[in-house]
Structure 1
Amino acid sequence: MAGRLKIDILTLFPEMFELFNLSIIGRAKKNGIIEINTHNIRDYTIDKHKKTDDYPYGGGAGMVMTPQPLVDSIRDIKKRNKGKVIFLGPRGKTFDQETAKELSTREEIIIVCGHYEGIDERVYKYIDEEYSLGDFVLTGGEMACIPMVDSICRMIPGVLSKSESYEEESFYSGLLEYPQYTRPEEFENEKVPEVLLSGHHENIRKWRRKQALKITKVRRKDLFDKLTMTKEDKKLLKDDQL
């Protein structure tokens, strides 16, 4: 059965993605909700030593991925996947929850994992979109690809058991998540807030919303400042009863 989303990943280290056969994503693959395929870029090189990198023209530290195996691998996968080609690199737009939502609505995606000091500039004309996880350096595109694919897949209906599993999580609504508690009711002299034990669903909803607002304001002011506050939000922040 074909998945609702097909992802083809071009990488030098396909074994790194075996973790997608486990847990929630693995179950979704077995159920035919998503399809994740990995392809070794090294299989496409015409170099007799299977090299996929070389020294940069003009000098400098490190190695650069050569264009031939990258371009040939993209061309080959495009025969079976008509989705946009996504490259994970430092020039890209910062990947966030909104991006994950949008990508999860597509039918097909091709992801190219870079390595070494980057890719030959002539490969970029085969790239449709580029994303970065942030302003820090990783050892390879695989390290960025894994959390990106996970965040995309979990947004697809049927991957998680209930829609609430992601709709109330941090970042989904633009806020950090409210505090969570479970048994025991009291631990090291600290009790679960009474409102969560009340069974009053509306009061619980308001309490959770207020806590999410407060936590986001303190810990992620950048997110809070982007939030469009409702009348209820403003009232909740002023209400000392919750």
Structure 2
Amino acid sequence: MTEDTRTEREDRAESGAASRRKSALLFLRDLVVIFLVAVLVSFLIKTFLIRSFFIPSASMEQTLMRDDRIIVNQLVPEVASIEHGDVVVFRDPGGWLPARADEAKPPLIAVIDGFLTFVGLSASDSNDHLVKRVVGLPGDHVECCNALGQMSVNGIPLDEPYVVLPPGDTKVSRDDFEVTVPEDSLWVMGDNRYNSKDSRYNTGTPLEGFVPIENVVGRAVVVSWPISNWAWLDNYPQVFAGVDEGTG
């Protein structure tokens, strides 16, 4: 074998190795670009369209169970209006949630959870929000309870199939109340009526139990986890039929 032949083979080998290195670098570059695009898309979706939250309490049973994860449509109320019966997630209006110390996490777990929250795959701030069903919209007159134990909105009694009551109880609220919802506010209640610290039991807070619409993060549309609890969340329009035309 001549020296020229060896040189040619060495050149071809070096060229092939360089080509493989270049291909590997291009592949890694494409992976990084795909990852960054996926993160950006997830961030934009989480910021403007949908977001995930987990359910920390039993106040919405049996509609939502403790530790369920829900998907929230953040186009409500900015783009789509809030309706009677909607299940909404909202920021604490002040005094609804007890003060709590931040839970210490190992640094690596904190970084991972922060990243997942950033892209909308986690909901580390769920304990700073509440989830309830909208019963009263601005201007509504809401009262409870009539002789049948029903709640009324604008004089229209409601037959609420989603409400959970203790055995033997027929009143949809343990305590009677009567309110008129102020402008730009909501009256919200949990479906687990005897185990929900909702508008009824926050009348001593600065906003007297009403939730400013601007505090609403969005409307819960689906239970996404666990799979066994997967369900679309209904706002039961038949329950509130005629309420908007009610005379109060």
Query: Which TM-score applies when normalising by structure 2?
Result: 0.21
Quick check: which one's strand share is greater? 2
Structure number with greater Rg is: 2
